[in-house]
Amino acid sequence: GENVEQHPSTLSVQEGDSAVIKCTYSDSASNYFPWYKQELGKRPQLIIDIRSNVGEKKDQRIAVTLNKTAKHFSLHITETQPEDSAVYFCAASKSGGSNYKLTFGKGTLLTVNP
């Protein structure tokens, strides 16, 4: 089955700096890669996703890049703010039949210091 590795497990940055979180996946058939943000005690919420037919996607201060050849994808947050502090999860899945289950990385705890 699919295996998703996520690094780093913790990341601390100063407000205004950029943050980068990286994930690798094992199944070359995976074609959907979402990123979720989970604040303490809350539910995970989708912040951005990318499908394998594109290499990059941006939404304001957040961007995701995908390298299908190397089987890795990354989350980039620019101009970080204290409210960006949370746990971020990457995930991967593949379409096919009726199976759309996600495999998650273990998460990155991002701390943005004011």
Cα 18 from Cα 61, distance rounded (Å): 9
Cα 35 from Cα 10, distance rounded (Å): 16
Using the contact rule CB under 8 A, the part of the chain among 18-26, 61-69, 74-82, 93-101 near other proteins is 93-101
> How is residue 17 annotated by DSSP?
S
Structure tokens at 60: 């304001």
Q: Binding marks (x or -) toward other proteins, 45..84, rule CB under 8 A? A: xx--x-----------------------------------
Query: Where do contacts with other proteins occur on this chain (CB under 8 A)?
Result: 1, 6, 9, 32, 34, 42-46, 49, 89, 95, 98-107
